[in-house]
């Protein structure tokens, strides 16, 4: 199998992640005037929707809340520590989100899957909820996947948040097959 020269791969990756992602005819852009300092802190992933059948079946099989702690790792990047309670134990992972020239857009790489991800804070009020759009590309196959996530600052999810999240999902042409994570059985891991 012939591999792509490193310079070509870097250029194509930059092209993919610097242009607005077009999803079903609509550009996925981060919230205007995004403020990362207000965004850092504790979040809970309470709902997700994806166009990836594998991801969707995995989440449906284990719909636990994911606790996220976002901290500045330096003056540029974020460290995102996530924790879920699965199979009787807490599982934690940490990732480095690289900031971009576009406020509210982050990039990271998932080594075990060979996937580059662009994470967009599509909308947030900073105190109650955030709606995220994650656009990933597998390095080997170039398959693209879209995931939308609803984050909340507490486990109390207001109906208005869910209504707005459903509207965002529908606006971007995604199926309304939203997976709601079970908040009643949440165990604190972080």
pLDDT higher than threshold 50 for residue 59: yes
Q: Sign of torsion, CA 41 47 50 52?
A: positive
Confidence of residue 114 (pLDDT cuts 50, 70, 90): very high
Domains of the chain: 6-180 (2.40.128.20)
pLDDT category, 56, cuts 50, 70, 90? Answer: confident
The pLDDT, as a whole number, for residue 189 is 62
* Helix ranges (DSSP H) in 30-127: 36-39, 53-61
pLDDT at site 187? 57
What's the mean pLDDT in 177-187? 67
Q: What is the pairing mode between strands 115-124 and 129-138?
A: antiparallel
| Cβ within 8 Å of residue 155, ≥6 positions away | 44, 46, 65, 183, 186
For residues 150 and 90, what is the distance between their CA atoms, to the nearest angstrom? 21
**Is the model's pLDDT at 97 over the cut of 50?**
yes
* Residue whose C-alpha is closest to residue 97's, from 46, 142, 132: 132
d(CA 142, CA 7): 17
Q: What CA–CA distance (Å, rounded) separates 136 from 113?
A: 11
- Each residue of 121-163: pLDDT tens digit? 999 999 999 999 999 999 999 999 999 999 999 988 889 998 9
Asked if pLDDT for residue 52 goes beyond 50, the answer is yes
Phi and psi dihedrals of 30, rounded to 5? -75, 165
* Average pLDDT in the chain: 82
In what helix (H) or strand (E) does residue 104 lie, and over which residues does it extend? none
The pLDDT assigned to 43 comes to: 96
pTM metric for this prediction: 0.82
Region of 182 (left: φ > 0; alpha: ψ -120 to 50; beta: rest) is beta
The closest alpha carbon to 34, from 147, 124, 161, belongs to 124
Cα–Cα distance measured from residue 76 to residue 85, given in angstroms and rounded to the nearest whole number:
30
pLDDT at position 10 over 60: no
Mean pLDDT of 3-14: 36
- Determine the pLDDT at residue 11: 32
């Amino acid at each position: 199998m012939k591999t792509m020269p490193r310079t070509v791969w870097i250029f194509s990756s930059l092209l993919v992640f610097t242009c607005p992602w077009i999803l079903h005819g609509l550009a996925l852009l981060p919230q205007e005037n995004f403020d990362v300092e207000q965004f850092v802190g504790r979040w809970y992933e309470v709902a997700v929707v994806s166009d990836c059948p594998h991801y969707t079946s995995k989440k449906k099989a284990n719909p636990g809340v994911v606790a996220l702690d976002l901290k500045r790792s330096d003056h540029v990047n974020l460290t995102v520590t996530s924790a879920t309670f699965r199979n009787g134990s807490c599982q934690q992972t940490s990732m480095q989100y690289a900031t971009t020239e576009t406020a509210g857009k982050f990039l990271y790489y998932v080594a075990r899957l060979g996937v580059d991800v662009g994470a967009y804070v599509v909308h947030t009020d900073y105190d109650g909820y955030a709606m995220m759009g994650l656009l990933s590309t597998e390095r080997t196959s170039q398959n693209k996947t879209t995931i939308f996530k609803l984050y909340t600052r507490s486990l109390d999810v207001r109906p208005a948040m869910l209504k707005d999240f459903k509207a965002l999902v529908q606006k971007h042409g995604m199926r309304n097959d939203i997976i709601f994570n079970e908040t009643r059985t949440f165990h604190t891991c972080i």
